[in-house]
Every structure is written in structure tokens, then in C-alpha cells.
A and B are shown apart, each in its own frame.
Chain A
Amino acid sequence: MLLDLFYSLRKARLPVSVTEYLTLLEALDRQVVAGSLDDFYFLCRSALIKDERLFDRFDQVFSAYFKGRELSLQELFGIDDLTRIPEEWLRRQAERYLSDEERQQIESLGGFDELMKALQDRLREQQEAHHGGNKYIGTGGTSPFGAYGYNPEGVRFGQDNGRHGRAVKVWERREFRNLDGSVELGTRNIKLALRQLRRFARTGAAEELDLDGTIGATARNAGMLDLQLVPERRNATKLLLFLDVGGSMQPFVSICEELFSAARSEFKHLEHFYFHNCIYENVWTDNRTRHSARIPTTQILHTYSADYRVIFVGDATMSPYEILMPGGSVEHWNEEAGAIWMQRLLTAYPHAMWLNPQAESRWPLVPSIMLLHKLMSGRMAPVTLEGLERGIRMLRQASSTPPAMSSVTDNGR
């Protein structure tokens, strides 16, 4: 029976292994859980799922699996004697015997918000300790507030051990939704992802004692000390960052800021340039002086060597003319089409990728995104944690020459 759960988890592409499944069985065998379904849920999660980003998916599978299955919990734990029947199951039974009137009363307070508002009011009204009854906060009774009572929507106070469990089950609350890997990321996450780009190399002056080398050399030197020094290990990755600014990028400013600040602290060799919509003959490094202090794109091509990695950040959302046509730029008259400049950059820097803050599902709907996607030979990733990791992988492998202009335009239409 538990095997079904195991396979539904695998089907949801959760990385649960046989070892972990056996650990879970062993834990059940050693009676780590007292018998409530909540405990069982916590145990499963702790034994099977090792990444908080997957908790939400686990909750969903668990919830789907146990919906309407409470009665077979007995089977699940493989027990016969009644004393060990899970508490949850008993609770369900008890609920069955509540009269309709009682049910109605309980439902009468409406949703959760209602409940919290009522709670505040009650707190104001109530002055002394209260036990029993069905309105005020205390113990026993059927008021929604207090401990050791019954109300499916209840709010519980200071009760150490769940008596009825909770109204909304833990796994149904989906509290870990925010941690899902496909959501957008903060500076810290970005740094982590960027760290995969690190390539350590020993460069510069030799100033660190090479212990192994020293010992080896000393041994060869018949025991007389022979000190060996090596340069310190440094992150040798070099990065060029091209950031789209203005216009349609406005909603993504904060995420780009985060990306930028993470990248800046992570790489020693980082140069950044701004562009608008598409790369043309000029870029700039300071947005305040963007019209006066421009840097010719050719200068970049000549300054930075081919071992630089290139990351473009932009939503790539524009008119296709801005990419394909000379003079297509919305800001100035460009002699050559944006696509040609893109191709020049991509030829000069084989390691490149495009980060697009637009949701990936929207890409096929925007012709200009698909155009750039083709220009980049598919090396475009969304700005999510998963997307960034994917992008970094694309960046690691050098690409062949960018596709010819004609093939891009033909398919783009």
C-alpha cells in the first residue's frame, strides 16, 4: 500500500530512492510515529524529501493520495489491534456522528478571515478565563477558539498535543509554495547559481605555502627544508553582462538589480553594459550619461578576449523590425540591423546566453523573443532559479557559429 505512495511520488518526479523508502519502512517498524496521520506525514517528509523546494510538490502528492483514503490507514500501518488505530481515523468516525445542527453551528462563522476577525472581537469582549460553553475562548466546548475542543475551523491556543489535529491539514496548507524551485529568485539564490560558473585557477604571484609540494621537495632534498610556494586560487571566470534598460523592462528592474548585484560580488572580472531592446553599434555603462558617453560595440569586441562569458539580460520584447532591419531601432538610426550586431558578438564570444525575465510560457507568443531565441541558438533561459541553472549550463558549453541571418529571418516569419 505504501508502495503506491512511493510510486506516485516518483511519478511526480520527486527524487525518492529505494534507500529512503526502506528508511521510512524501518521507521514505521520501529514505531517512530505514535499513530496520527500528521506524524506520519512529518515522518514521510523528513525521510523522503531532502529539499525544501520540493516540499510543496510533496504536499500536493500526499494530499491527492490521502484524499478519501483515511479509512485504509489501518491497512497502511498493518495493524489489527484497535489501540493503535490512528487518531485521525477515529476523529473522522467521531465527526460522522455529529448532528446536522452541530455541523451548521460550526460552519456558521464562515471562512478563515471571518474567524480571525471574530477572534479579535472576542478577545476584546472576554476578560476572564473561560472553560466550556460555545462562544468564549477557553478549554473544552465547541467555540472556534481555544484548546481541547471541537470545531473544524478552530484556532488553537497553547495546546501542546493535537487532539483533533487541525482543521486544514498541514499538507493541504501548502506552506512551502514559496520555496518551489521554479519561482523567481533573490540575490542570494542568484549568487548560488552564479557560483556554478566559477572556475578556479592559480594565477598571480606565488604567495601561498604549498605544503604537499614542500614535503615532496624536502624528501627529495634528503631532509633539508625546501619551501615551495604557489599562487592563491582565484575565481578566473570573466563575464560580460549586457543589460536591457527602459521601456518594457520597467517591471523587471528589481530582479535585474538583484542579478547585477549578485554577479558583481561573485566575479572579479565583470564588465557590464546597457542597451535598449537590442544591441546596436553603441552601448553604454552609465544610464545618466547614456547619450553622451557611448561605447562603440566594436570597441568591446576588440577589448575583451574570447574567453569572456557573455550574458544578455532583457525581455527581448519589441517589434521584429528592431532586430531585423537597418534603421529599426526606436531610438536612433542604426546603419546595420540589430541581428548583425548580435551575430558579431556571438561569433566573438562562443560562451553566451540570454536571460529573459518574461515567463517562458509567453515566449512563443512574442515573435521578437523567438527571433532572438533562434539567434542565440536556443540558449535563452527564464530568470528563475531553475532557469538560471539551465542558463549556466548553456554557458559552460561553447556553441558553434551563430545561425546565418537568412535562416533566422525565414523561420522567424
Chain B
Amino acid sequence: MRFSGTDSYIATTDLTMAVNAAIVLQRPLLIKGEPGTGKTQLAVEVARALDRPLIEWHVKSTSKARQGLYEYDAVARLRDSQLGDARVHDIANYIIKGKLWEAFEAEVQPVLLIDEIDKADIEFPNDLLQELDKMEFYVYETRQTVRARHRPIIIITSNNEKELPDAFLRRCFFHFIRFPDEAVMAEIVRVHFPGLKKRLLQEAMASFFELRELPGLKKKPSTSELLDWIKLLVADDIPPEALRDPDTQKAVPKLYGALLKNEQDMQLFERLVFLNRRGK
């Protein structure tokens, strides 16, 4: 059982190494990297490549570690008790299973994605240590222990908004997805747009990497933005020459809106295009 990328996801050697090490040793894999480099996508693709169900747990700033295990819906029980519902006598009726419980119960070994773990409170990862280590937890309300039938393959993504605790890091494998170089990027575009004309690809890549080099950009465009942009180019059937030609006024705003998401960046870019035109 080895992961080596899929037909729609290009994984570099170091990434596949990290994924496989995590799978073999059954440790969580922590993924960091620039936004838009496919961190979340990795879990989807690993699940697809290995033909495993994917369970996604998207963490928010208000998420608590407990919510991944289970929640006791006290308010519903209170309401039922006031209405005299018979369900109220069994507390198990009010235990709502979380994503982790779901993953522990799965028939086949699932892939569990814990997305953007850094969004939550600083203590969040620490609260999950025991559960991820032992792959079991205790439900106080029903006095039962939930054990994983199969240790799930756990992929955790982080955007570096908070430092994760050392004790948590020590238990993970770690991989930092670097921004792909041109060769890898061309490969990525190829798997997403197999029929793309070579000239258009070359021109688009050239403008894309040029744009990334632009000094003073607030948010550099990344892989997902490039893919969106190429989708636009293909949909509008833009000829490759149009990308090179600085005089194609109509091309500028439409095309670059997909790459630049910030009005200051847009202004900077337009100013440069303008200067460029005057220089000719």
C-alpha cells in the first residue's frame, strides 16, 4: 500500500516519502505550506489513491477537541425532559458522534483529514494527543470506551497561524509543501488540462512565474490560482499571443483577476503594465 500521487495530483518524492512513512508507521502526518499548494487536496487524493473513505474534520476558531470525539446535547435532553419525551431516559440518545468517533468506527481503515488545526485554540492539539496516540477515548456519559477498529490514516493541515505544541509535533511526521518549481508546475497543469496547447501553457507559465517575481506583491498567486486562470484562458479561447502582447488592453483585467486577489496588487500590476507600454 504505497501512495505515489494520482492522475490528478502530482506528488514530489519527498511528499510521497512522508506520506508513506506516516502510513506505514501509523502516525499522523502534519502538512504545512503556502496557501493554495494543495494541502487539503492531499488527503482527498490519498483517500482516492488507496481507495479509502475520507472523513473530513474542518477546524474553526471555535472548534473544541471534544467535538471531534462526541458532544452531549444537554439542551435537547432538557427540552425533551420538559416535554415528557420517553427518549430522555437513555442518555445515549443525546450523545452526538464526532468525526474522530466516526473514523474509529469505520469498517475499513479511513483517511481522516483534520483541516487547518491551527485555526482552533492553542490547546486544541494537546487535547487530542491521547486520542491520536492510543486511538481510543472514554465517553463519560455512557461509561464506554471507544477504540479504533483500524488506526485511521491521519492527515493534518496547518497554515502556521499558531505554533503547535511540541508534544503534539513529536508524534507526527511533518512535511512542508514547497511552492512547485516550473517543471513540477508544468506537470501539475498537464494533469489538470491534458489537452492544453503547448504554446498557451508556455506563455501562461511564463507570465505566471513573472507575476510571482513581481516585487511588492501582497499575495503571490499560487497553484490553485494558476489552475483557475488557465481554466479561464481555455474557456475564453484566448490565443497564446495575447498573453505576451502588452497592448491587449482588454486582456489585462479579466485575466489577472484570477491571479491577483488584492486591489493593491492589481493597481501595482496595472501601473507596471502601463509603464511597460509607455516604454515601447
Most chain B Cβ neighbours within 10 Å, of A15, A47, A179, A218: A47
Name B178's contact: one of A23, A46, A49, A175 (CB within 8 Å): A175
Within residues 4 to 20 of chain B, which ones have a CB less than 8 A from any CB in chain A?
Answer: 13-14, 17-18, 20
| A66 → chain B closest CB, angstroms | 17
Residue of A nearest to B173 (CB): A46
| B216 → chain A closest CB, angstroms | 8
Do A218 and B78 have beta carbons less than 8 Å apart?
Answer: yes
A27 contact set on B, CB distance < 8 A: 21, 24-25
Do A192 and B21 have beta carbons less than 8 Å apart?
Answer: no
Q: How many residues of B contact A (CB 8 A)?
A: 33
A38 contact set on B, CB distance < 8 A: 13
Do A223 and B82 have beta carbons less than 8 Å apart?
Answer: yes
Residue of B nearest to A50 (CB): B169
Provided the pairs A20-B170, A211-B75 are in contact, do residues A42 and B160 lie with their beta carbons within 8 angstroms? Answer: no
B174 contact set on A, CB distance < 8 A: 45-47, 49-51
Do A43 and B162 have beta carbons less than 8 Å apart?
Answer: no
Residue of B nearest to A258 (CB): B218
Majority DSSP secondary structure for residues of A touching B: helix
| B25 → chain A closest CB, angstroms | 6
Within residues 32 to 60 of chain A, which ones have a CB less than 8 A from any CB in chain B?
Answer: 32-33, 38-39, 42-43, 45-47, 49-52, 55
Residue of B nearest to A49 (CB): B174
Do A42 and B13 have beta carbons less than 8 Å apart?
Answer: yes
Provided the pairs A15-B166, A30-B24, A211-B75 are in contact, do residues A39 and B17 lie with their beta carbons within 8 angstroms? Answer: yes
Interface: B238 (CB within 8 A):
no
Interface: B176 (CB within 8 A):
yes
| B195 → chain A closest CB, angstroms | 18
A26 contact set on B, CB distance < 8 A: 25
| B199 → chain A closest CB, angstroms | 14
A32 contact set on B, CB distance < 8 A: 17, 20-21, 24-25
Do B14 and A192 have beta carbons less than 8 Å apart?
Answer: no
Interface: B81 (CB within 8 A):
yes
Interface: B27 (CB within 8 A):
yes
Residue of A nearest to B29 (CB): A46
B162 contact set on A, CB distance < 8 A: 192, 195
Do A19 and B171 have beta carbons less than 8 Å apart?
Answer: yes
| A147 → chain B closest CB, angstroms | 12
Do B74 and A215 have beta carbons less than 8 Å apart?
Answer: yes
B75 contact set on A, CB distance < 8 A: 211, 215
Do A33 and B17 have beta carbons less than 8 Å apart?
Answer: yes
A contact residues, range: 35 or more
A47 contact set on B, CB distance < 8 A: 21, 173-174
Provided the pairs A38-B13, A52-B32, A211-B75 are in contact, do residues A19 and B170 lie with their beta carbons within 8 angstroms? Answer: yes
Residue of A nearest to B2 (CB): A32
B25 contact set on A, CB distance < 8 A: 23, 26-27, 30, 32
> Please, how many angstroms separate the alpha-carbon atoms of A333 and B166 in the complex?
54
| A183 → chain B closest CB, angstroms | 15
Within residues 65 to 106 of chain B, which ones have a CB less than 8 A from any CB in chain A?
Answer: 74-75, 78, 81-82
Interface string of A73-97 (1 = CB under 8 A from B): 0000000000000000000000000
Interface: A225 (CB within 8 A):
yes
B32 contact set on A, CB distance < 8 A: 52
Residue of A nearest to B175 (CB): A46
Residue of A nearest to B169 (CB): A50
Interface: A162 (CB within 8 A):
yes
Residue of B nearest to A189 (CB): B160
Interface: A305 (CB within 8 A):
no
Interface: A17 (CB within 8 A):
yes
> Please, how many angstroms separate the alpha-carbon atoms of A23 and B75 in the complex?
44
Do A46 and B14 have beta carbons less than 8 Å apart?
Answer: yes
Residue of B nearest to A209 (CB): B75
A20 contact set on B, CB distance < 8 A: 170
Do A50 and B172 have beta carbons less than 8 Å apart?
Answer: yes
B218 contact set on A, CB distance < 8 A: 187
B172 contact set on A, CB distance < 8 A: 50
Residue of B nearest to A16 (CB): B170
Interface: B30 (CB within 8 A):
yes
Interface string of B169-198 (1 = CB under 8 A from A): 111111110100001000100000000000
B170 contact set on A, CB distance < 8 A: 17, 19-20, 50
User: Could you list some 16 contacts between A and B, CB below 8 A?
Assistant: A19-B170, A26-B25, A43-B18, A45-B14, A46-B21, A47-B21, A50-B172, A52-B176, A157-B183, A179-B176, A195-B161, A211-B74, A211-B75, A223-B81, A223-B82, A225-B82
20 other A-B residue contacts (CB within 8 Å) besides A23-B173, A50-B164, A158-B183: A17-B170, A19-B171, A23-B25, A30-B24, A32-B21, A32-B24, A33-B17, A46-B18, A49-B174, A50-B170, A51-B169, A52-B176, A157-B183, A179-B176, A187-B218, A195-B162, A211-B75, A215-B75, A215-B78, A223-B81
3 closest Cβ pairs, A-B complex? A50-B169, A52-B176, A46-B18
Query: Which A residues lie at the B interface, using CB under 8 A?
Result: 15, 17, 19-20, 23, 26-27, 30, 32-33, 38-39, 42-43, 45-47, 49-52, 55, 157-158, 162, 170, 175-176, 179, 187, 192, 195, 211, 215, 218, 223, 225
